Structure 1
């Protein structure tokens, strides 16, 4: 995996976590709603989108894919310090890189 690809996966994984927190959905529900082609598009656009705020990009993704509000709250009520969406995104991107066969990273994410 190239450095650019690492950065793109980090960005998209962080974006998925951000959207999940904003809409109170499971991350897996976000990924299913966006779908494989949507994930591929987000990865393609990541280099440009990372210049924008997560708020703006997440609002666009939520609107475009019709992501509805859920009731899965992973933050409120926690009795410990919750890692940031960027921390979680980094963790997931590392897991994808470590677990996926070369060329199958999108499948590992979806």
Structure 2
């Protein structure tokens, strides 16, 4: 549906993942705490933000949004190799691209992260996050893992 390989969306999703890991928050919580306006700013300025170290950018948004430490630690719970935040960012990017039109990308970010699929992608003890993109999009469209 959307533009394939949307680098602004890829960066936005990877930053959400990075913040979630840093602050031990579910990714839907991160999206909620950032809010729609800041998500839009991250997305719109991703081409500039990506020039800075992601740690610095994340720290600035964590401070601006006063994101406190949580207890969700899917990295520690992982029994296998933990996928890096770029890998998981790409999973979300592709899902949003495949499920929403270019005009609806920001709504797609909000909807995908606030849906059931957030827990499935964040469970690194399953093979769900590295399934083919069309399968993940089909699951999202149906509302459950097929």
TM-score by length of 2: 0.71
Work out the number of aligned pairs and report it. Answer: 109
Q: State the Cα distance separating 1:82 from its structure 2 match.
A: 1.1
Provide the residue aligned with 2:83 in structure 1: 83
Q: Say what the alpha-carbon RMSD is for the aligned residues.
A: 1.4
Deviation per CA, 1:5-33: give whole Å up to 9, x if none: 80000001000000000000000000001
Q: Does 1:24 align with 2:24?
A: yes
Contact preservation (8 Å) 2:3, 2:102: no
Give the distance between the partners of 1:37 and 1:28, measured in 2 at CA: 15
Q: Structure 1: give runs of 5+ residues left out of the alignment.
A: none
Instruction: Judging by fraction of residues, say which structure has more helix.
Output: 1
Structure of larger gyration radius:
2
Q: Structure 2: give runs of 5+ residues left out of the alignment.
A: 111-146
**Whose RCO is larger (CA < 8 A, sep 6+)?**
1
Provide the residue aligned with 2:55 in structure 1: 55
1:1-110 to 2 correspondences below 5 Å? 1-2=2-3, 6-110=6-110
| Range 21-30 or range 5-14, more displaced | 5-14
SS in 1 for 2:45: helix
